[in-house]
Chain A
Amino acid sequence: DIVLTQSPATLSVTPGESVSLSCRASQGISTSIHWYQQKSNESIRLLIKFASQSISGIPSRFSGSGSGTDFTLSINRVESEDFSVYYCQQSYSLLTFGSGTKLEIK
């Protein structure tokens, strides 16, 4: 199975800062990576598909980049509602998820 390693496990930031979350695949997966947000007591939400493609209804401050093995989810000027856990998922071979990055308030 393809293993996805997310880093850091926890990221402490102040609202208004911009951040980058990393997801590294154990082998090349082209751009078959997708990003999700999980808030406590809410449904998981799709943020970005195929590494960099936007999703209708998702704020433009969320963006994605990367190909091959290294991928990044960027949040431009973090807002209070963004503090949650973020997961990457690959669809290149079977379906696997990363272990998540928790974005918390500093």
Chain B
Amino acid sequence: EVQLVESGGGLVQPGRSLKLSCAASGFTFSDYYMAWVRQAPTRGLEWVASISYDGGSTHYRDSVKGRFTISRDNAERSLYLQMDSLRSEDTATYYCTCFNYGTDYFDYWGQGVMVTVSS
């Protein structure tokens, strides 16, 4: 059974940092591109960042470029999202998900982890 389990969320003040983690099991982790997708109550689902099989290629939505860093550890079967200079508009539930390059639909999703940016 495929499982993606996110952790690391919480309440953080604007301008501070937070690191999300995602533990994967039940599939060959290194065979998939990985991504973070977030869902804020007022904005629906938004793709945030993606990373290639080996971590050599990353992509970000414009609003998080320079502030967020996606990374992965294939030996640990883990995905990460380092979030710096957080803003109130980053408040959302963050989902770990995977996809095949070239098809770009999301095969599996985690349960999500809540991030609240507020003073």
Contact = CB atoms under 8 A, between A and B. Distances in A.
Q: Do A and B come from one complex?
A: yes
Interface of A: 32, 34, 36, 42-46, 49-50, 87, 89, 91, 94-100
Contacts of A97: 44-47
A91 to B, nearest CB: 3
What is the interface of chain A mostly: helix, strand, loop, or mixed?
Answer: loop
A36 to B, nearest CB: 7
B44 A95 contact: no
Interface residues of B, number: 17
B19 to A, nearest CB: 22
Contact of B106 (A32, A89, A94): A89
Contact of B110 (A34, A43, A87, A91): A43
Given A44-B95, A89-B45, A100-B44, A95 B104 contact: yes
Given A43-B108, A43-B111, A44-B95, A91 B103 contact: yes
